Amino acid sequence: MLSIDLTGRRALVAGVADDRGYGFAIAKALAEAGASIVLATWPPALNIFLNLLERGKIDESRALSGGRVLEFEKIYPLDAAFTTLSEAPADILENKRYREVGDFSIEGLAKRLTDDFGDRPVDIVIHSLANGPEVKKPLMETSRGGYLTAMGVSAYSMVAMVGRLAPLMRDGGAFLSLTYMASERVIPGYGGGMSSAKAALESDTRVLAYEAGRKYGTRVNCISAGPLASRAASAIGIIEAMVDYCSANSPLTEPLSPAEVANTAAFLCSPLASGITGTVVYVDKGYHSMGMAVDKSEALEKR
């Protein structure tokens, strides 16, 4: 039987703060395949997530096959807006949610990994990170600061993570990020520079695949997932409408589940996908293939 086997591999999943998003689902799928899991969580959400774990609030979501439970070797603080701690401004460093957690930068994360697990501590890195503080604003009304924040956290952080973590990967390492088709088509209401950030992330995936592949032998891919009504996505303001519209207008009309994205992620990070890099894989029930809304084409058929 052909199966995904990640036994003996360690995966870092960055961007998990609850059990409802794609990041958590991917962590769960990788664990099902045998990988050990390390998380990186945004400092303002870190204590909330730890409390959910300690109080058993997400125990049901952590259930794996065979009576096993999703466990985390480590949960690190990470604010992907900062490659090094020296980039963080004083108001962040002095914030009560940051000042007690140590080095929360990408470089700090790399150091924690080597301190805890040795010189080559990781095999898989999942980038499930995005932040658009002005995502509800039309692009024309987005400030320079809001635009650059969206680009920095949602796209450049992947560049910085590959640069810092690729040298720490064992042979056969794989990076994977999550994008959205607003990178290539207009999604009204998905603003604040987030569409630009997703386009940059996809472009960077191809360049990073070349550079990291030649230098370190690692693979870099991206999943373009359909919309999900996660807690993080609620910031968009129209996420439920986005989910309903895609479901109504996709070739497969069943709502997209986090597990479907997670299973694809597990495949792309496994030896079964050793020949795949620099690629954006759509997991959206086929919505990306549509050129006209279903109600419009039905209207044309009646003419």
- Other beta carbons less than 10 A from residue 119's beta carbon: 9
Region of 288 please: left (phi>0), alpha (psi -120 to 50) or beta.
alpha
- Other beta carbons less than 10 A from residue 96's beta carbon: 8
292-300, long-range: CB < 8 A, 24+ apart:
293/249, 294/248, 294/249, 295/248
The DSSP result for 15-64, as a single string, is S-SSSSSHHHHHHHHHHHTT-EEEEEE-HHHHHHHHHHHHTTTTTTTTB-
Decide if 180 is catalytic.
Answer: yes
Chain segment 131-183, per-residue pLDDT in tens: 999 999 999 999 999 999 999 999 999 999 999 999 999 999 999 999 999 99
**Which pLDDT score is estimated for 205?**
98
Look up residue 300 and give its two tokens: 């044309």
* Sheet architecture: strand order including 10-14: 74-77, 36-41, 10-14, 122-127, 169-179, 219-225, 280-283
**Which pLDDT score is estimated for 302?**
46
Entry pTM: 0.94
Decide if 190 is catalytic.
Answer: yes
Interhelix angle for 194-216 vs 157-165, to 10°?
20
**Which pLDDT score is estimated for 243?**
84
Look up residue 50 and give its two tokens: 């730890």
Please say if the pLDDT value at position 298 is more than 70.
Answer: no
Phi/psi at 215 (5° precision): -85, -40
Contacts of 248 (CB under 8 A, 6+ apart): 294, 295
Chain segment 15-25, per-residue pLDDT in tens: 999 999 999 99
Chain segment 221-265, per-residue pLDDT in tens: 999 998 876 666 566 667 788 888 888 899 998 889 999 999 999
What topology is assigned to 10-301 in CATH?
A: Rossmann fold (3.40.50)
* Catalytic, out of 98, 180, 216, 282: 180
Please say if the pLDDT value at position 299 is more than 50.
Answer: no
Rounded to the nearest 10°, the torsion over CA 258, 266, 150, 105 is: 120
* Averaged confidence pLDDT in the chain: 93
| Contact indicator for 137, 191 with CB cutoff of 8 Å | yes
Please say if the pLDDT value at position 272 is more than 80.
Answer: yes
* Catalytic, out of 190, 216, 245, 282: 190
